[in-house]
Amino acid sequence: MVRVKRGKIAHKRRKHLLKYAKGFRWGRKTKYRQAKEALYHAWEYAYRDRRTKKRDFRKLWQVQISAACRQADISYNKFIHGLKKKKIELDRKILANLAKNHPQIFEKIVGKVKS
C-alpha cells in the first residue's frame, strides 16, 4: 500500500486564509487559528457596516441640512415638508452638498419653500 502524504491542500488553505489577515495586529496575522477567528469577525462587521454606513450618511446629511435651514430661519421638518408640497425632488445628499458648497443656491430653494 502506498503512503498518502497529507498537508499540501491544508497548507494551501491556511495560507489562503492568512492572506486575508494581512495587516492584522499581533498573532492574528500569523497564527492560523487566531487569524481565522479574527477574519470571521471582520467579515461579519464589514457586512453589517455596509448597511450601517448608509444610515450614518443620511443622519449626517440631515444634520447639515438642518444647520443650513436654521440659518435661514426655518426648521428642518418644515423645510422637508415644504419641498414635498412644492414637488421639489432633491434628495438629502444633494441638499446637504448645496447647503455646504453652494449656500446661495440653497437660499433660493429655501425661499421657494417659504413662499
Q: Would you give the DSSP letter of residue 73?
A: T
CATH number at 29 reads 1.10.1900.20
pLDDT at 37: 97
Would you say residue 66 lies in a domain?
A: yes
Would you say residue 12 lies in a domain?
A: no
Would you say residue 2 lies in a domain?
A: no
Domain range for 51: 25-114
Helix axis angle for 103-114 and 92-101, nearest 10°, is 120
Would you say residue 15 lies in a domain?
A: no
CB 90 within 8 A of CB 56: no
Q: Would you give the DSSP letter of residue 89?
A: -
Query: Over 90: is that where the pLDDT of 6 sits?
Result: no
Query: Over 90: is that where the pLDDT of 1 sits?
Result: no
Would you say residue 11 lies in a domain?
A: no
pLDDT average, residue stretch 66-86: 96
Residues ≥6 apart with Cβ < 8 Å to 28: 21, 34, 35, 37, 38
pLDDT digit string (tens) for 16-60?
A: 999 999 999 999 999 999 999 999 999 999 999 999 999 999 999
